[in-house]
Structure 1
Amino acid sequence: MENKAALKLIDKILKDLDKTGINTDTLISDIKELRTYALEEQIPLVVKVLRLTYEHIEENDSFLIPMLVDDEDDVVVIENEPVESLKYLIALIKNLNNKINISDLKEYRDLLNNY
């Protein structure tokens, strides 16, 4: 993302996840706010992933999508570590010029849709 406020918010979300884990009170509102920046920048994939993410957290009081790990040419799903998986997803949004980040965001989108 290009917006400095959005990047600052991403850093805040990541720090909060380190401090308090998945605290749905602030986390959901922060993700919704981050989604508004993605709407402004017209990044449909990020808009969709963020919406699916906060809806998933609202429904489950956690992030139950497993962490993605690169294994040579394939993306492999590993054991579920909710905070680490969510941190990875949020961190992907920082650099959308990286093709691997886009690919992983698409994988998260698919996992969230199929959950």
Structure 2
Amino acid sequence: MSDIKRFETGPRMSQAVVHGGVAYLAGQVGTAGASVADQTKDILASIDRLLESVGSDKSKILQTTIWLASMDDFAEMNAVWDAWVSPGNAPARATGEAKLATPDYKVEIICIAAV
């Protein structure tokens, strides 16, 4: 059985867990109160950083789940996402609307990637 490696672990959660050649990232949020575009940019920078720390990168993302506080923000979030996603390596993706941890968060993104 493969070892389980946890990254940036706190009392409640780890920001990333790697097992069996797969990295599971915790839901990432941006700067509370910022615009949807700015929160998305912050989140994608966090994802890049976390993936690098586990020995992966955005071209290896297998699946992404995106939560928006309002689907009215879908186009604004997608404009940032589309400029960031690795060309030819778009992951399987789902996007939905959900009440997030605080009303100041407008976007949360969860990723699973190969290492």
TM-score category (smaller protein): 0.3 to 0.5
Q: Normalising to structure 2: TM-score of the pair?
A: 0.32
Q: Normalising to structure 1: TM-score of the pair?
A: 0.32
More strand by share: 2
Larger radius of gyration: 2
Task: Specify which structure has the bigger relative contact order, considering alpha-carbon pairs within 8 angstroms and separated by 6 or more residues.
Answer: 2
